[in-house]
Structure 1
Amino acid sequence: PPLSPPTAEHTAAFHQPPAAFAAPAPAAGQPGDPYSSPWAAFPPPTPPKKRRSGLLVAIAAATLIAGGIGGGVGYLVADGDGEPASVASDLGSESVARPPDSVAGIADAALPSVVTIEAGNGAEGSTGTGFVYDEQGHIMTNNHVVASAANGGNLTVTFSDGENYDAEVVGRAEGYDVAVIRITDLEGRDLAPLPMGDSDAVAVGDATIAIGAPFGLSGTVTTGIISAMDRPVASSDGQGGSASYMNALQTDASINPGNSGGPLLDGDGAVIGVNSAIQSTASMGGEAGSIGLGFAIPINQAERVAQDLIDGGEPIYPIIGASVESGGQVTNGAQIVESTNDGSEPVVAGGPAAEAGLQPGDVITRFGDRVIDSGPTLISQIWTYQPGDSVDITYQRDGQERTTTLVLGERMGDQ
């Protein structure tokens, strides 16, 4: 059954994503919140800030329906009391041998390459997870884990052996919720990057292993399966940042606040996703925590974004150059708005949508091979492509179904 939306006191506005992203845009005269109450977030705590565990919680609205199409909005979860200590697990000096292809064997090989991240700027901070991306000290994680340290804040990473190192932000992608940080001085430490898998090759029912620091408990390993593929999820940190979108892998492996940015591994120990969001009963008055609905950014997308950040320091987004309705509820498609409240053009002149013949009021119902039921679903799908890709689009105009081909444009950086 549909979940109830958060109560009014739990709501907080998000920034409106840029129109050029084909992001949801409010109609003229409406507030700039791209998500109404079913897509709301807890407001930030008032200073002095408590440290927040770095996990976005995806609130599934009534759009999570049979057939596997839906979405959600996330928020950072406030800790219960005080600053959470990053509690390292005791791996033991004499570990018992296990087959390398067992869960224990995979965990034993991966744990030395998973780190707990502490980020802060004096007023607020967060605890999350990351994993070794290369031998040069680059660590992949979520943007919302390190955002508080992006502008001169403090950033440290702690390995499973308890050794900690200072780090710096290399690049952040708010829209993708991916970030890369770098250990500033390895002090002779040799790093073992986790092997990258192929998220396009996974199937529902495949085994999954999640590693992270839920509630500060570093080195926690949980298992599950791929529960669903291509789950559209929209999320926000609730702190005024732009919304992020993913065409997520859904897993029932236990994921909790603090797991954000950690690896989701397959049965061979390869990374297939970056754990980023959960559906939680917190929206219904319960405590935030795993209920078996976790969402991970597919590694094929996350790795592409991470490499862009390492190469140029900025994310690269595919765009269609149009603004669509912001409602998170399932509808008959993603409608291009007739007008926007900031006076910008709903369809950018000379942009990809305009060149493809799309107009304000058109309702996009299919993008490539994916049925589109809402604005967030459309954006999640757009961001699985790359600039320059040609995509067949089906849309409705004046009650008539039409088709066109659109060549995706490019935008660099977040705004």
Structure 2
Amino acid sequence: MNDGKPARPRWWTRPRKDRPAPAAPHTAPPAHGPSRAPGTTPASPGRSNVPAPPYAPVPPPPHDPPPQPGTGTVWHRYDPWAPPGQAALPPPPAPARGPGRRRLLTGAVLLALAAGLAGGLTGAALRGDGGGDSGTVSLPQIPTGGSGQTAPGAVARIAAAALPGVVYIHVKGDGVEGTGTGIVLDTAGHILTNNHVVAPAATSGDISVTFNGGVTRKAAITGRDTGYDLAVVKVDGVSGLRPLTLGDSSAVRIGDPVVAIGAPYDLEGTVTSGIISAKDRAITAGGEGGAGSDVSYMDALQTDAPINPGNSGGPLMNARGQVIGVNSAIRSADDGSGADGSQGGSIGLGFAIPSDEARRVAQQLIDHGHAVHPVIGVTVDMRYTGDGARIAATGPSGAPAVTPGGPGAAAGLKSGDVVTAVDGKPVHTGEDLIVRTRDYRPGERVALTVLRGGHRLTLDLVLGGASGG
């Protein structure tokens, strides 16, 4: 109520809501807010400043509540009943702060405001009733299923599409029991895998195939080839098969991303990923070396995708979900044999038969039960320790090392010649020569680089063919 004396203003007041607060200066404000020149009041829209009692920023009294963030600028008024002529009180000196301290404090204030805003938004979302307190709390949840999107080429997308076309092979026979992986080739039930996976049951034994959905069926060998380390088995009575697409392995580049699927150590449905770390690796797997029928030769794709025993026969896939290789061998740390059957684990050196070669051999196995190998018609000296593949002095049982009338003889090869390249691809050993020629089909022409008596020659040779085992 008014007792006839002029109303004494409070020590601090907030600006009216219909008046915008003055813009903050570019420099850091004083400890208790910005000040303005004495004798003016904040300008309102459409009005000019009018004289008023002198103002100066002064600290609020202890009993008054402090300004709250977000309520606008607080102006402190100087006592108009002070003795005439007294100057406005200066603001209390701010404690000395270095530039680093000021920046840190400002960052802390901004962080606090952001946290407060986030908290307010969360609180409003939790209430869900216009701000009332219902006494219960409902925690936020991620929408069911999320976005449900994966980028093209993502491992998850490739795996989801490919897993229905991958099977797991269990073999018993010849006192051996093991597992491997297979690739569904068609809806008729043909499945591609490695020869060394099914070899124990080649003469007698049992082969069963488990599909991704859990269905298990017996399988029989359609055809197999030891030289290529490939085999085809067939299951009957299964519908809804999902064949995988065999891609173009010749288009693969070093560094391309790849995905491997298999059953390492009997862990079915295992998906791993990596890159193509090398191409055209001349790999000899199985046996103890030499050119025996138990040795497989492959001009392999090398990958660092983890491959372990049990991955044999499974797909190596590109970013488009196409099979570009059949996983067949690893270089293991324990014995260095490179055979997938080794108990050593992956050290990042896995090898796959290129899909171009696998497609050709699989078609022959389905059509004829065996594959036809390209041959040169010479006997190679596997004991030669120099660089290249040397033609032996004699063949088996004293026969000529260069088969009379064969492709080698027609090209002009002679005993003692050292082959150093096939179509420009280097040849360092006898195994390399076999591997390089396996890239071709019988009847195709290749250029052989040959050293003879210190002279380098180039010979054109048309490859012959021979049935493999």
Provide TM-score, normalisation by structure 1.
0.73
**8 Å contact 1:264–1:296 — kept in the other structure?**
yes
Task: Return the letter of the residue paired with 1:225.
Answer: I
Task: Return the letter of the residue paired with 1:315.
Answer: A
Q: Which residue does 2:250 correspond to in 1?
A: 200
| Residue 202 of structure 1, CA deviation | 0.8
SS of residue in 2 equivalent to 1:342: helix
| Residue 340 of structure 1, CA deviation | 4.2
In the alignment, structure 1 residue 353 sits paired with structure 2 residue 405:
no
CA distance in 2, matches of 1:201, 1:95: 36
Q: Which moved more, 1:294-303 or 1:148-157?
A: 148-157
Between Structure 1 and Structure 2, which shows a larger proportion of strand residues? 1
Q: Which moved more, 1:372-381 or 1:236-245?
A: 236-245
Cα deviation per residue 1:144-187 (whole Å; 9 max; x = unaligned)? 0011111232111111222111100000011001111100332x
Q: Which residue does 1:61 correspond to in 2?
A: none
CA distance in 1, matches of 2:174, 2:387: 46
| Residue 352 of structure 1, CA deviation | 0.4
Q: 1:161 aligns with which of 208, 213, 222?
A: 213
Task: Return the letter of the residue paired with 2:370.
Answer: E
Cα deviation per residue 1:323-371 (whole Å; 9 max; x = unaligned)? 1122596x42110111246333311111100111111111001111212
In the alignment, structure 1 residue 172 sits paired with structure 2 residue 224:
yes
- Aligned 1:258-407 pairs, distance under 5 A: 258-283=310-335, 288-327=344-383, 331-340=386-395, 342-407=397-462
CA 1:95 to 1:371, structure 2 compared with 1: closer, same or farther past 3 Å?
farther
SS of residue in 2 equivalent to 1:306: helix
Cα deviation per residue 1:102-144 (whole Å; 9 max; x = unaligned)? 2111101111111110112252132110010111000000000
In the alignment, structure 1 residue 103 sits paired with structure 2 residue 155:
yes
CA 1:128 to 1:328, structure 2 compared with 1: closer, same or farther past 3 Å?
farther
Q: Which moved more, 1:404-413 or 1:229-238?
A: 229-238
Q: 2:308 aligns with which of 251, 256, 268?
A: 256
Provide TM-score, normalisation by structure 2.
0.65
Q: Which runs of no fewer than 5 residues in structure 2 stay unpaired?
A: 1-143
SS of residue in 1 equivalent to 2:335: helix
Task: Return the letter of the residue paired with 1:218.
Answer: E
CA distance in 2, matches of 1:167, 1:341: 38
CA 1:344 to 1:217, structure 2 compared with 1: closer, same or farther past 3 Å?
farther
Task: Return the letter of the residue paired with 2:397.
Answer: D
CA 1:142 to 1:287, structure 2 compared with 1: closer, same or farther past 3 Å?
closer
Aligned residues: 318
**8 Å contact 2:182–2:193 — kept in the other structure?**
yes
- Aligned 1:123-272 pairs, distance under 5 A: 123-186=175-238, 189-236=239-286, 241-272=293-324
CA distance in 2, matches of 1:373, 1:122: 37
SS of residue in 2 equivalent to 1:283: coil
**8 Å contact 2:226–2:468 — kept in the other structure?**
no
| Residue 400 of structure 1, CA deviation | 1.5
SS of residue in 2 equivalent to 1:131: strand
CA distance in 2, matches of 1:131, 1:152: 23
| Residue 373 of structure 1, CA deviation | 1.1
Identity %, equivalent residues: 49
In the alignment, structure 1 residue 114 sits paired with structure 2 residue 162:
no
CA distance in 1, matches of 2:454, 2:287: 38
CA distance in 2, matches of 1:328, 1:342: 19
Task: Return the letter of the residue paired with 1:249.
Answer: L
Tell me: higher relative CO, structure 1 or 2? Use CA pairs within 8 A at least 6 residues apart. 1
Cα deviation per residue 1:244-276 (whole Å; 9 max; x = unaligned)? 101100000000001000000001110000000
SS of residue in 2 equivalent to 1:108: helix
CA distance in 1, matches of 2:251, 2:336: 35
